């Protein structure tokens, strides 16, 4: 398996929806028009490709100067635990290395905590901060 990371400028929404469906992200799959708009308004979308197969995506929003937010990072289940998510995240961190604040919101599990901490992220409570969200 040779994974190639490249920027997505155009979006095959059927392929993207299949990827979101594979990881059970129904908030997106039940709102395909919202997802399409979200992709078109993103600061950056990178895809991980195994030949012609889209195996993962990372989507970034923000101003690209003072803040970015890693909105989505997902990898097909059969491709997980092969370093694809790390590759995608490292590419974003490289491209936005001068950005003051890089944020993300994820589920609070030991698996996700270990993954993001391995990439240099800190929990906001470790920084004396708290986070708020309105859904």
Give the residue-averaged pLDDT of 3-19: 94
pTM reported for the whole predicted model: 0.93
pLDDT in tens, 99-125: 999 999 999 999 999 999 999 999 999
CB 67 within 8 A of CB 33: no
Question: Does residue 90 surpass a pLDDT of 90?
Answer: yes
- The sheet that has 101-104: what strands, in order across it? 3-7, 44-50, 53-62, 67-75, 101-104
Mean predicted lDDT score pLDDT of the chain: 95
């Amino acid at each position: 398996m040779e994974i190639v990371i490249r920027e997505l400028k155009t979006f095959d929404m059927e392929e993207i929806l299949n990827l979101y469906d594979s990881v059970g992200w129904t908030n997106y799959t039940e709102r395909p028009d919202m997802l399409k708009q979200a992709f078109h308004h993103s600061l950056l979308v990178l895809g991980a490709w195994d030949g012609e197969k889209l195996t993962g995506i990372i989507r970034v929003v923000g101003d690209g100067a003072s803040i970015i937010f890693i909105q989505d990072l997902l990898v097909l289940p059969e491709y997980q635990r092969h370093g694809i998510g790390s590759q995608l995240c490292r590419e974003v961190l490289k491209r936005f290395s001068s950005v003051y604040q890089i944020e993300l919101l994820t589920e609070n599990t030991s698996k996700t905590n270990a993954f993001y901490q391995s990439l240099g992220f800190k929990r906001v409570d470790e920084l004396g901060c708290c986070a708020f969200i309105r859904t």
